[in-house]
């Protein structure tokens, strides 16, 4: 499943990079929790939680129903 998650993140990445940020996949647990690290401008942005939930998590759940949630790894 990690490969599938990475493919979806690669589709989201240009949106983050346009704002000077990026994300990296840290882990995917057996129970469908995806852990990502926001980097660059996204790492310290006050809107990073919204980006994580409304952008990355929403897209992952749309394409991979087995994903239960996305959490930020520090």
For the chain, percent of residues with pLDDT exceeding 70: 100
Per-domain boundaries in the chain: 2-72
Residue 74 has pLDDT above 90, yes or no: no
Phi-psi domain of 62 (left: phi exceeds 0; alpha: psi -120 through 50; beta: other): alpha
Q: Cβ(14)–Cβ(49) under 8 Å?
A: no
The confidence band for 36, taking pLDDT boundaries of 50, 70 and 90, is very high
Residue 68 has pLDDT above 90, yes or no: yes
Is the model's pTM score more than 0.75? yes
Q: What is the CATH number of domain 2-72?
A: 3.30.300.130
What's the pLDDT at 11? 96
Residue 28 has pLDDT above 90, yes or no: yes
Spatial CA neighbour of 69 closest among 11, 21, 56:
56
Q: What is the mean pLDDT of residues 50-69?
A: 96
């Amino acid at each position: 499943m990690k490969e599938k998650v990475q493919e979806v993140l690669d589709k989201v990445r240009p949106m983050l990079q346009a704002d000077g940020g990026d994300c990296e996949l840290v882990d995917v647990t057996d129970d469908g929790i995806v852990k990502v690290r926001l980097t660059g401008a996204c790492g310290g942005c006050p809107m990073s939680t919204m980006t994580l939930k409304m952008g990355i998590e929403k897209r992952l759940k749309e394409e991979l129903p087995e994903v239960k949630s996305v959490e930020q790894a520090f």
